[in-house]
Amino acid sequence: MSGDVLSLPEQLGFAPGMRYALQALPDAVTPLFAVLPDGMQLASTELDIAVLFVSDSAMLTERWADLAPMLQPTTRVWLCRPKPGVLRCDLDETRMAEMMAARGFEPQEQLVVDAVWTALRVTPVGRA
């Protein structure tokens, strides 16, 4: 297995049998989620993992209001935003961290989604 490249869902932590949500998924990114681990269930409650794409702070505010009721304390949450300078966006890592701190979440790690998008994993404050 040495040298194998993990798919994006594997890097994000998708695993067999998880309940998941993909919100505001851009068309260009959809193929990256074409193959998911066995038994994954698209859900709208009690999520194990959630991936939310947002292009600006207003969209984060709006979409978070929809997503938050679906989360459990243990849900793995990834927020994806455009990389700096790629698309017009008022969100950078600092702004996103501030907005999520106001909601009781803190940043944990980042990863590259593709040439346009970057993902930030957030967890409830105090749960790393």
pLDDT digits (tens, 9 = 90+) for 36-71: 999 999 999 999 999 999 999 999 999 999 999 999
Segment holding 24, helix H or strand E: none
Give a yes or no: residue 1 inside a domain: no
Give a yes or no: residue 2 inside a domain: no
Percent share of the chain, pLDDT over 70? 96
- Which residues does 108 contact at the CB level (< 8 Å), separation at least 6? 121, 122, 123, 128
- pLDDT attached to residue 46: 96
Average pLDDT of the residues in 82-103:
90
Give the CATH number for residue 111. Answer: 3.40.50.150
Average pLDDT, the chain: 93
Residue 37 backbone class (left: φ over 0; alpha: ψ -120 to 50; beta: rest): beta
Average pLDDT of the residues in 26-42:
96
Nearest to 22 by CA among 113, 123, 115, 107: 113
Average pLDDT of the residues in 103-127:
93
Is 50 exceeded by the pLDDT of residue 1?
Answer: no
Give a yes or no: residue 115 inside a domain: yes
- pLDDT attached to residue 5: 84
- Which residues does 80 contact at the CB level (< 8 Å), separation at least 6? 51, 52, 53, 54, 113, 117, 118, 119, 120
Q: How many domains is the chain built from?
A: 1
Range of the domain at 110: 8-124
Give a yes or no: residue 55 inside a domain: yes
Give a yes or no: residue 119 inside a domain: yes
Give a yes or no: residue 3 inside a domain: no
Give a yes or no: residue 18 inside a domain: yes
Give a yes or no: residue 81 inside a domain: yes
